[in-house]
Each structure stands twice: as structure tokens, then as C-alpha cells.
């Protein structure tokens, strides 16, 4: 499972706090990392490995490339056919559908196979039996823009079960989820860059109890499409979303990349727990604007 939104949070900017242990595993076409502070080394490793071990199951459930997985089975179904899926796939699809509605189709996990058809509801979800049906033909499902964030949320639940309080989880440098910061720290520092920029080129964020995700594309090689039009989204170097969950932040960063600035502003005004930062093309380098009542606080070096 790869993320077409690209790598906008730069992994090189992730922390190396005194005493913070780092653990990593390859999954979903990228590298997941777990940083844990304030725990005995052996216990930290056991907790981190328990969280990382869940990635294999999640990838099978959420990837469209695993023929027996839930998403692949749904994509192969005929229109109107109800496909029962597991709890994780259903919850991820439910979040994706909610973000699609709230962004007017700027984020759409069904748009990949039918350019320009985004915006209209293509999935029918039934809470009673955790089944999903595709509403029309020519539609497939791709969770690349939300699956890694959802995986971080599930990993965080496992860490909490292990009573881990201070941790940072990272999915390929594009989505990060922070629990509490290390003792005597205000937050976990995360560097923001973008396509063609270095770590920290856009700014730095101290993250605690929240998730941050970014999407970026090079002006010369646009690869993020607006599902509402089927055309490449132009004019931005990067977009970031700060939200309570990593799945939501992951999806919103993609939506914010294709949404005009005034649409992003209206979204953040209507959702007090979401903030955004956009890096727009401008002479002399990206021009950064921020939206939301609890704005993304960044410190540009």
C-alpha cells in the first residue's frame, strides 16, 4: 500500500531525544517507526514490537494488492453486491466516507479508478453487519491516502494497552501520531518539508496528543489529482493537517492539497479540532498560510 500523496513530513526531522528508544518495521510500502521515552529498554521493545506486529494483519485487510483482503474483495465485487469486511476495514472505510462528505469529495478513496467521478457517494456502508457495497460500476477502492494513518491509530491503542504514555509513531515520514511527550518537554519535534525541500524548510511543530500528516508534490511532476475534476492539483507545494486521529489527519492532508485556500479555511472554521497549513507556490519559495482555531504552531528555522 503506497500513498500517492507523497512525503511531506520529513523523516530526518523526527526526534532523537535523550533516552528515547527507536524501533522500526517495513510495511505498506514504507517504514513505520515507534519512538518510546521513559520506559525500561526491554519493556519499551516488547511494547513497540507488539504494535509493529499488528501491521502485517492490517496491511492484508486494507491493501488492494492482497487478493484475499477485504479491500481487494470489495473492489472485485459487482455493483450493489454486499461484501462483509472486518472491523478495521469497515472503520477505515467509515472514516474515509465521512471525510469525503465533509470535504465535498476532495478526498475520495473510490476516485482512483474513475477520474472525475469523485464527490458522489460510491460506497454504501451497513453498520448492522459491517458490509459494504459499491454503488456503481467502474469503481475500485484504494486506502493509500488513509490506511497508514489508520494503522498508526491502531498501533497507539496497543501501546496504551501496554501502559506506554510517552511515544511518537511515524508512517514513512508523511504521517505522525504523538502520545504524551517525554518528561520536561512540551512536545515531540517534527520537521516539515515538502517535495524538493529539506527537513525543516517549511517549519517545525511540537506535537503532543495529536496527529499530523502532510501531502506534497513537485510543480514539475504533479501526481495528486482532484477527484472532483480528475485533473492534477496545482499551485501548492504541500498541505498539512493536524487532527485528533492519524487516519483523519492522513485523509485531510490529501483533501487540503486539492482544496482552494478558502475551502480549507471554511473547513477549519467548522471543525475546531482541526488545523491546517498550506505551502503555496510563490516567488522566492513557498508561502505558508495557516488555518484553524487551534492553528498549527510551527517554528521556521
Q: 246-296: per-residue pLDDT in tens?
A: 999 999 999 999 999 999 999 999 999 999 999 887 777 668 889 986 545
Query: Sign (positive/negative) of CA torsion 39, 42, 43, 46?
Result: positive
- pTM of the predicted structure, to 2 decimals: 0.90
Would you state the pLDDT for residue 61? 92
Nearest CA-CA partner of 244 in 291, 208, 288, 290: 208
Would you state the pLDDT for residue 3? 43
pLDDT band at 2 (very low <50, low <70, confident <90, very high): very low
Confidence check: pLDDT of 160 > 70:
yes
Write down all domains in the chain, each with its CATH number in brackets: 11-42+156-291 (3.10.520.10)
Higher pLDDT, 283 or 219: 283
Is residue 1 within 8 Å of residue 147, measured between CB atoms?
yes
Q: Residue 182 has which C-alpha cell?
A: 517525554
Q: Which residues pair with 218 in a beta bridge?
A: 221
Would you state the pLDDT for residue 226? 87
292: left (phi over 0), alpha (psi -120 to 50) or beta: left
> If 0-12 CB within 10 Å is exposed, 13-18 middle and 19+ buried, where does residue 240 land?
buried
Q: Residue 197 has which C-alpha cell?
A: 525541500
Would you state the pLDDT for residue 280? 80
Q: 20-53: per-residue pLDDT in tens?
A: 899 999 999 999 999 999 999 999 999 999 999 9
Amino acid at each position: 500500500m503506497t500513498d500517492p500523496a507523497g512525503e511531506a513530513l520529513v523523516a530526518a526531522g523526527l526526534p532523537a531525544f535523550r533516552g528515547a528508544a527507536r524501533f522500526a518495521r517495513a510495511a505498506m510500502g514504507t517504514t513505520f517507526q515507534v519512538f518510546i521515552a521513559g520506559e525500561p529498554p526491554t519493556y519499551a521493545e516488547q511494547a513497540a514490537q507488539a504494535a509493529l506486529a499488528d501491521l502485517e494483519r492490517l496491511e492484508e485487510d486494507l491493501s488492494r494488492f492482497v487478493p484475499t483482503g477485504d479491500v481487494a474483495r470489495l473492489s472485485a465485487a459487482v455493483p450493489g453486491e454486499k461484501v462483509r469486511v472486518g472491523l478495521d476495514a469497515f472503520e477505515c472505510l467509515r472514516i474515509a466516507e465521512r471525510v469525503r462528505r465533509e470535504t465535498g469529495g476532495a478526498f475520495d478513496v473510490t476516485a482512483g479508478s474513475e477520474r472525475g467521478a469523485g464527490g458522489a457517494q460510491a460506497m454504501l456502508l451497513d453498520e448492522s453487519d459491517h458490509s459494504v457495497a459499491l454503488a456503481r460500476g467502474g469503481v475500485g477502492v484504494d486506502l493509500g491516502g488513509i490506511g497508514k494513518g489508520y494503522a498508526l491509530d491502531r498501533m497507539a491503542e496497543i501501546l496504551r494497552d501496554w501502559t506506554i504514555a510517552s511515544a511518537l509513531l511515524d508512517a514513512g515520514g508523511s504521517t505522525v501520531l504523538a502520545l504524551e511527550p517525554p518528561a520536561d518537554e512540551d512536545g515531540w519535534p517534527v520537521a516539515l518539508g515538502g517535495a524538493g525541500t529539506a527537513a525543516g524548510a517549511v517549519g517545525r511543530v511540537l506535537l503532543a496528543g495529536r496527529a499530523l500528516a502532510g501531502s506534497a508534490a513537485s510543480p514539475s511532476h504533479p501526481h495528486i489529482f482532484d477527484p472532483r475534476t480528475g485533473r492534477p492539483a496545482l499551485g501548492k507545494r504541500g498541505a498539512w493537517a493536524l487532527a485528533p486521529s492519524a487516519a483523519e489527519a492522513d485523509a485531510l492532508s490529501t483533501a487540503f492539497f486539492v482544496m482552494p485556500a478558502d475551502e480549507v479555511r471554511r473547513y477549519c472554521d467548522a471543525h475546531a479540532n482541526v488545523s491546517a497549513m498550506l505551502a503555496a507556490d510563490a516567488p522566492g519559495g513557498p508561502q505558508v498560510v495557516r488555518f484553524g482555531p487551534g492553528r498549527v504552531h510551527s517554528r521556521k528555522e
